[in-house]
Amino acid sequence: MSGLFTRNRLIGLGIAAFIAAVDQAVKWLVIEPLALRQVRHIELLPFFDLTYTENRGVSLGMLQATNMEMRFLLVLLTGAIAAVVFVWMMRERKLADIAALALILGGAIGNIRDRWSLGYVIDYADFHIGTFRPFLIFNIADAAITIGVVIILARSLLVREKDDDSDNARPLKAGETEQ
């Protein structure tokens, strides 16, 4: 059992727990003390506001949960995806891969908790340049998921892993065979 919970995997589980906890803490902060649900919009910076939205779908508002059955199915679907990410994370060895998957897992847990307890995901982060909004309104969980996916894609496209045997390998000369 100790082989399963290596140092890197424990770090990954810690990252996932941290992301989920920070996501929920910030959502509580914007809903309770800042009363964003009531005021709907708070201007913070020339390029960043807090804007309250309820996302009843998944990514980009797809698969809207318009009733209890759909809500339950979305929780099951996102829970299954989170389980796959967890298993994947527990199979990885490299900290960079584990950390990227942990960001996705932590974000998924934060959004699943919202969907389970509220029926929707609370979004509030509104980045904009004037009236141009390059992103939909999002939350920390969404940002963590996006960053994790970008890291995984970048590592799969840019980082070339060498096989353990490739360091000792040399091209075969004419007439030679592998031993």
The residues annotated with a catalytic role in the active site are 123, 142
At a CB cut-off of 8 Å and minimum separation 6, what does 127 contact?
Answer: 47, 48, 133, 134, 135
Distances (CA, A) of 64 to 14, 54, 75, 106: 31, 11, 12, 22
Closest alpha carbon to 49 in 110, 123, 108: 123
- Other CB atoms within 10 A of residue 90 CB: 15
Q: Residues near 44 by Cβ (< 8 Å), separated by ≥ 6?
A: 50
* DSSP-based three-state secondary structure for 127: strand
Beta bridge partners of 121: 55
